[in-house]
Amino acid sequence: MTSAGRIVQLSVSPGGLPKRAVPEVRVGALGLEGDGHRDREHHGGPERAVCLFSLEAIDTLRGEGHTVAPGALGENVTVAGLDWEAVTPGTRLRLGADVVLEVTRYTSPCANIATVFRDRDFARVSQKRHPGWSRVYARVLRDGVVRAGDPVLVLAAEEAAGRAGGCR
């Protein structure tokens, strides 16, 4: 069984926040082309190449009075239409026609995102304190170009194994 969504926004930054929207981007082993990190100890690298978050979660956070927007929390890919609580470590996603990601871990929120949270409560997106509300990091199993509006599919285990093929 697969579930489907779509890419709402792709976001990059040379380092720092917020990340800015781009209409399309190449995704390789180290993430989105043009994206950088000021703190390489805690961000980036092959196991944290891409950060993803849910538009539905962002909308709910806005409803709680936070000024969150796509890219503001450092995510590279904002998606809509997925069961976000089911996007857990080990989940494989296909973005567009070619890109395949595997979720490696939940992100750990840090004080750099506090300014967009009411009362600076950045722990609101902590998996430990609020399960299902965290952004996730993913490794790139297959590279390619993605565009805003492209489909996102949660791959069944057998489909994910057959489609990965490694980064080109």
| Tens digit of each residue's pLDDT (9 = 90 or more) over 113-161 | 999 999 999 999 999 999 999 999 999 999 999 999 999 999 976 565 5
pLDDT of residue 101: 98
Q: Which residues of 31-44 are buried (b: 16+ CB within 10 A; e: fewer)?
A: bbeebebeeeeebb
Measured between alpha carbons, how far is 19 from 75 in angstroms, rounded to an integer?
7
Our count of domains for the chain comes to 1
Measured between alpha carbons, how far is 153 from 15 in angstroms, rounded to an integer?
29
The CATH number given to whatever domain includes residue 74 is 2.40.33.20
Measured between alpha carbons, how far is 63 from 68 in angstroms, rounded to an integer?
10
Residue 13 in domain: yes
Residue 163 in domain: no
Residue 162 in domain: no
pLDDT tens digit sequence for 27-85: 999 999 999 865 555 556 789 999 999 999 999 999 999 999 999 999 999 999 999 99
Residue 10 in domain: yes
Sorted by sequence, the CB contacts under 8 Å of residue 60 that are 6+ apart come out as: none
Residue 32 in domain: yes
pTM for this entry: 0.89
Residue 164 in domain: no
Q: How confident is the model at residue 90 (pLDDT cuts 50, 70, 90)?
A: very high
Measured between alpha carbons, how far is 55 from 81 in angstroms, rounded to an integer?
8
Residue 137 in domain: yes
What is the span of the domain harbouring residue 114? 3-155
